[in-house]
Amino acid sequence: MSGTFRVPRATLVSFTVLSVLTAACGKKADTAEVAPITVSIGKENIAIIGTATLTSGPSISGTLVAEKTASIRAEVAGPVTAVLIEPGVRVQKGTPLARIDDTVLRDSYLSMKSAVTQAQLAADIAVREESRSEKLLAAGAIADNALEVARRNNLAAQAQLQDARARMAGAQKNLDNATIKAPYSGIVSERQVNAGDVVSVGAAMFTVVDPTTMRLEGAVPADQLGSVHLGAKVSFAVTGYPGKTFEGTISNIYPSADPQTRQVRLYARIPNTGSGLVAGLYATGRVSTMTHQGLAAPLNAVDQRGLKPSVVRIKNGKTERVEVTLGLREDATERVEILTGVAVGDTVLVGAAQGITLGTPVRVSAPSDKPTTVKP
């Protein structure tokens, strides 16, 4: 009996077919590994690492107010005969805003003016009498006491003249105050009276604001007061002006901290050229106590969930994760300084695009292209 082992023909055919199928499957798997699917993303999913100037310092928030706000009140009593300006109108210094009935005031002024004329005549006579008495005394025609009487009469007449002039000036001022005028150039923000209203002295009539300079009233923690000083720059954003940053300077710092909040109030003066800012809006910002120039990236490009911060970078057309070292953080612009790990010009993914599998080929589409939805 021979020791040769023969494989049946049917079994050999089966092995041959299985080998062919296995080889075919292996080729498909190899093909899939060689040509992975390229993910297309839009430009809104990337950020380019660049050099920028970043600032840090205590945060500040508060309400914008006009640095110059005047509540104009009546200085004389009487019925309002005319209202000349409506709220929202820009006025110049001295522009009439309203008029109060000045009939009584005008009569009083005319009376005071007449009194001044009479006092002036009496004073002129007294001056001449004193001069004549001095000449008569020199000629020995009168006694010394007669000259003293003339001098006292002259002094009294001059005093009466000054009193009459002061009374006339007061009457003139009251007459002028019957016409309400703007104390400086600005915008009428409120009007509290109408024609026909009877106002008393001290009654509020108008509010005028000067919008050319605004003021941010805020506070900083007492433990950060050492990094704040007069003249320090403040960068802030204002509700209603998305994507826009404004700048001002610290103009006042309170000498004591609030006993409840342990914060110190301060004011930041803000030039408002063009009157773009509006009083009453809420603002948030940061006092610029430190300025540094370096590599910067958006905050949403940095993953800080791990033990060390990292970014997903596109290199040679594929995604890779790179650990980075962070520096200054600028909350106002949502940027952060990157000290190590990336270089100028590197492209990193932001937002949901960071969920793309590492090593995946990525193509950045033009704005006109329809980008593929990125799924983590």
Q: What is the pLDDT of residue 13?
A: 31
Return d(Cα 236, Cα 246) in angstroms, integer. Answer: 5
| Mean pLDDT in residue range 236-245 | 82
Residue 32 pLDDT more than 60? no
Domains detected in the chain: 39-55+292-364 (2.40.420.20), 59-66+210-291 (2.40.30.170), 102-177 (1.10.287)
pLDDT band at 373 (very low <50, low <70, confident <90, very high): very low
pLDDT tens profile 302-326 = 998 888 999 999 999 899 999 999 9
Residue 15 pLDDT more than 70? no
What sign has the CA pseudo-torsion 278, 75, 199, 168?
negative
- CB neighbours (10 Å) of residue 272? 21
Q: Is 240 left (phi over 0), alpha (psi -120 to 50) or beta?
A: left
Q: What is the pLDDT of residue 254?
A: 83
For 180, residues 6+ apart whose C-beta sits below 8 A from its C-beta are 72, 74, 96, 97, 98, 99, 100, 205, 206
| Mean pLDDT in residue range 108-124 | 95
| Mean pLDDT in residue range 137-165 | 92
Dihedrals φ, ψ of 83, to 5°?
A: -115, 120
Q: What is the pLDDT of residue 33?
A: 53
Q: What is the pLDDT of residue 18?
A: 34
pTM of the model: 0.57
Residue 19 pLDDT more than 70? no
Return d(Cα 117, Cα 164) in angstroms, integer. Answer: 9
Written in H, E and C, the secondary structure of 99-154 is EECCHHHHHHHHHHHHHHHHHHHHHHHHHHHHHHHHHHHHHCCCCHHHHHHHHHHH
Q: What is the pLDDT of residue 105?
A: 94
Return d(Cα 98, Cα 81) in angstroms, integer. Answer: 8
pLDDT band at 148 (very low <50, low <70, confident <90, very high): very high
Return d(Cα 106, Cα 115) in angstroms, integer. Answer: 14
Q: What angle do CA 141, 144, 149 make, to 5 degrees?
A: 105
24-33, 49-58, 354-363: which has the minimum mean pLDDT? 24-33
pLDDT more than 90, % of the chain = 43
Helix, strand or coil for residue 355? helix
Q: In the numeric block, which tokens belong to residue 100?
A: 């109060």
Q: What is the pLDDT of residue 223?
A: 78
Residue 65 pLDDT more than 50? yes
Q: Which of 62, 60, 47 is nearest to 335 (CA)?
A: 47
Query: Highest-confidence range of 4-8, 276-280, 358-362, by mean pLDDT?
Result: 358-362
Average per-residue pLDDT in the chain? 83
Q: What is the pLDDT of residue 251?
A: 87
pLDDT tens profile 244-266 = 888 888 888 888 888 888 888 88
Q: What is the pLDDT of residue 376?
A: 38
